[in-house]
Amino acid sequence: MTQASIGARVLLASTFITNFGSGMYTLTIGKVLYDETGSAASYGIVIVLEFIATFLFQLVAGPWVDRTDPRWSCVASTIVRSLALFTTGMVLGGSRQALFLVATSLVLQAAKPFYRAAQFALIPEVVGKSQLVRFNSHNSISLQAGQLLGIAAVGPVLATGGIRFSLWLNAAGFLLSALVLLLIKPVSRGVRHRAGSWFMALGWIVRSWLEAAANLRTNAATCWLVFLCAGDFILVSLVNLLLAPTVAARFGGDAYWLSVLDGAFALGAMLTAFGVDALARRLGERGSVMAGLGVQSLCFAALALCDSRPSAVLLLGVVGAANTVSCVVLLGALQVRSDATLRGRIASFRNLFLAAVGGCLMPLISHLEGVSLSLAFLASSLVGIVFFLLAFVMAHPRHYGVAMLGFYSQGSG
């Protein structure tokens, strides 16, 4: 077994382990907050706070990852999340448990930018260029499989051990993930920076971002690709936001259906990931991205118009499948087109855009859900259409064409 194959398998294992816990935690906090307030607005506020935390820490995460070994950034951020979950489990209880969970969410979100930027930078170092889309497909399978099992486990875990046991199980998973990541071969970075003061650190951050901005100005196609990559993640956030209200309005508030709906999304994503590489080679990057975003938009519109239970389960499964297609292809395209010395900052820039747009959209969609669940789904469909049009126009041959979305067309696959 080669070092590259070991590294790839380690990354897949880490993705699976961390998302097992994340799947449990997302459903746990969503249900606790909705049960205590009876509205999606409380969870929407948490999502907005998470976006703010993401925005602030992205400013440091990208430059940090580009100046250090991304493997160590992955390990450190994973350990921080493990400690946060374990500590919260120790102090949890009473009327403040929702507050503790919100605080934990913010800590997890603060560490996540470092992990995401580091993983984005680490994958091309471990996986060959021609295998990026295939690896990202497998990574999506690991992600969704972890979430699916986490979703399946959340009911029995909460019933037998309660919230505290769920948090400790998540903490153990993050710790195991950190240990597994140590098996990856270190990645050498030629330049390391040690700031002697806060002012020097601030200057270093500013210079790092100015360097990245100059690169993106001269590579406009990559810049547009960064914007486009945020679309699928925003649509997933909208799914998470509207799950609990959907269960309350159309499934009698039965928590069982919360797991079924989220599980349908995860299962659709996981099954589709096996064929993304072949589909992208057949349709091309632009065609695959447009198909994924277009289908998601149609499904959101259908969820607004159709309130039957079987239809909701089926449509969320299709949303998960379509989301995987466009997300995997876009990530591969961005990794191929990113300068190796800037990958951490490019990943952070994508997440900064995601945080800014998501922070504006979540309160709006939450407000619309309070008026009408169908109206919230229609607004979500409109968001998908905007990103669909962005892919249609900016990746058109008259604009950036294959320079933006055309990896397979260039024969590099």
CATH number of the CATH domain containing 139: 1.20.1250.20
- pLDDT tens series, the chain, 413 aa: 455 577 888 899 998 988 887 777 777 776 666 666 666 566 667 777 776 777 788 888 888 888 888 888 899 999 999 999 898 888 776 667 777 778 888 888 888 888 888 888 888 888 877 778 788 888 888 887 887 787 778 778 877 877 788 888 889 989 999 998 988 887 765 545 454 455 566 677 788 888 888 887 888 788 888 888 888 889 998 998 898 888 888 888 777 788 788 888 888 888 888 888 888 888 888 888 999 999 999 999 999 998 888 999 999 999 999 999 999 888 888 888 877 778 888 888 888 888 788 878 888 998 898 889 999 999 999 999 999 998 888 877 776 766 566 655 444 43
pLDDT at 1: 43
Q: 0.85 exceeded by the pTM?
A: no
Distance of CA 28 to the CA centre of its chain: 18
Domain hosting residue 232, numbered range: 3-183+200-403
Residue-by-residue DSSP string for 158-223: HHHTHHHHHHHHHHHHHHHHHHHHTTSPP---S-----SSHHHHHHHHHHHHHHHHHHHHH-HHHH
pLDDT at 127: 83
pLDDT at 325: 92
Dihedral sign, CA of 193, 194, 199, 205?
A: positive
pLDDT at 413: 39
Q: Say if residues 401 and 395 touch (Cβ distance below 8 Å).
A: yes
Look at residue 190 and tell me if it is in a domain.
Answer: no
What is the token pair recorded at 339? 């300068």
* Number of domains making up the chain: 1
Look at residue 54 and tell me if it is in a domain.
Answer: yes
Q: Identify residue 313 by its one-letter amino acid code.
A: V
Look at residue 408 and tell me if it is in a domain.
Answer: no
The Cα–Cα gap between 20 and 94 comes to 27
Look at residue 329 and tell me if it is in a domain.
Answer: yes
Look at residue 413 and tell me if it is in a domain.
Answer: no
Look at residue 193 and tell me if it is in a domain.
Answer: no
Look at residue 252 and tell me if it is in a domain.
Answer: yes
What is the token pair recorded at 211? 């360097």
The Cα–Cα gap between 144 and 147 comes to 5
pLDDT at 95: 66
Look at residue 194 and tell me if it is in a domain.
Answer: no
